[in-house]
Amino acid sequence: MNVQCAFDVCVAELRATGMRDLIVFCQDCRCSHNGKLTADYVDRWPDDVRLSELEPWFVCKACGKRGAIFRGCREETMMAVGR
Ligand SMILES: [Zn+2]
pLDDT digits (tens, 9 = 90+) for 3-54: 444 567 899 999 998 888 898 999 998 998 999 999 899 999 999 999 999 9
16 inside domain: yes
33 inside domain: yes
Give the Å distance between the CA of 83 and the centre of ligand 1: 33
Give the Å distance between the CA of 27 and the centre of ligand 1: 7
Number of domains in the chain: 1
| Collapsed DSSP state (helix, strand, coil) of residue 46 | coil
* pTM score: 0.74
Give the Å distance between the CA of 59 and the centre of ligand 1: 8
53 inside domain: yes
Give the Å distance between the CA of 69 and the centre of ligand 1: 11
Range of the domain at 37: 11-74
